[in-house]
Structure 1
Amino acid sequence: MIENTAISHAIDYILAHINEPIHVSEIAAHCNFSKHHLSRLFKAETGEGIYEFIKRLKIEQSAFRLKIEQARNITDISGDYGYSSSNYSTAFKQHYDVSPVEFRRTILQKSRINPIFNNASAGWESFEECKRKITIDFLPDYYVVYDRHKGSYRSLSEHWCAFLEKHKAYRTDETLLIERTYDDPNITNTDNCLYDLYMTVPEDSPLERTCYLNGGKFAIYHFEGFVNQIYHALQSIFTVWLPQSGYIIDERYSFDIYRKIDGMYMEIDFCIPIK
């Protein structure tokens, strides 16, 4: 778990400004640290240097856009993350060992393999199947206590158990359990995935690691099924429904609201920010 709250705030700043030039001095000022002190703490907490982390996120988030926005020009997508065409191709190949063009050509087929369960999907849902499960709605802001982790999604269940045990005194029948996963495990190394666990709490709670989870306009896919079907559903949303829906994914990050958990069976609202 990322224990240091200041480093978590630094990551929040990076995520919020990933489409802009980001300088360590700006992040350090945001966290009220010196550049040297922030860099040392960041490396200790995340296992990555801060510049290394920023560069990786820019490349991987652009790669996700290459995957879900197949009709967009590669140059336009790379420009969104501050790259010129030639610089992007070089940086991309250094990270993935293939060009952006080759990556885009093969990523949809590669994404049929679930890297968490190491099994192949029989086929994604059709646009109509997804559409029947999706509603468009406006969600409120949620006040939450949270833990942040960097590592494999395979550890989610273990971390949820520890998180709920730690905050069990604040859980009621009205409590919402919310999860935010920032990475597609077919794009990001499974050991580098970033994810947050949230639980709604009263705004006057004395807990330290709290924040507002911003609401707004979302496409909400109402999932009912088993854990090993979640990846398949998410891939269907992003690679089938979204490109044909007429909506554009917003800069905000998706999150999932757990509605029911019964062993391996789950009912979850996958909330995709749209505009």
Structure 2
Amino acid sequence: MTGAVTTLAGCTSDSSSESSPTPSTTGSQTDSGPDYPETGWVSPENYSEYITSSELKVVGQGVQLDLQMQNTTELFALKIVNSQGNMYRETLDFNRGNPQLLLADMGVGNAQPTTITQGENTLIIEKEDSKKRIPLRLNTSIEVKRVLTGAEQEEMEDEALGIEVKNTGTHPTTVWGTSYSNTPVNGTSKGVYYEKGVIKHEPKLIKPGKSSVITYPPALWRTNRCDEYDKLDLQFNLNALWADNVVVTQTASYNQKDTYLCGSLTGKATTTTTEKIVWEES
């Protein structure tokens, strides 16, 4: 189940003059001079006179980089080169002064997302006779705060399960999918939620320092086969864009008597980080 979750959109090699600068421990020197910060998100507007603001946004099933720009008549192209030096995205349309560059496409169903690489990507602002390179660092992290039930959260269905996630990185991310194991369902149900033991979430950006509750339907962890289980260590592998996966283990008890649907949380959840997973095609 381990491997790289990111899938490159396009593999055409860019010209040698447009490759991503090699990171160094003292910062990367660019065509225009200043050293960029060693780590963390770099706001493009801080390093280009043409960009007035930037924002990561969810649009439909994708995450895009929105740029507000001025004096675009002087520009020839806007390009993104991934961390491996390959062209990922390009636009020649500056008519509205608001280029929108798709960074991740979550797709539909259980298809694996298509997304630019995690790490040191590069935004290139190209004029007819010069180029400006700006780091597009996509490398964040998430932390699980708690596992809860709908009885503890007004917005959730009473018997639903929720995992509260905090973005501890420097730029927005979204938890786009959860693989799970050791639940009463165990991926055997043919319902849309349970195909391949994976739940696909609607994209919802979590900003740095902010938290969001990822919800799961009651049928994922509760059961009417109460006499078949005592305790289970439920496992949920949370996949977030440009962040390491976090595996959550939560014990649940199923030994309630005289009830149709049983399942209650026992103790606190534990978490570990892991390499990114790749969903296997059937």
The TM-score bracket by the shorter chain reads: under 0.3
Greater fraction of residues in strand: 2
Which structure has the higher relative contact order (CA within 8 Å, separation 6+)?
A: 1
Greater fraction of residues in helix: 1
Please tell me whether Structure 1 or Structure 2 has the larger radius of gyration of its CA atoms: 2
TM-score (ref. length: structure 1): 0.27
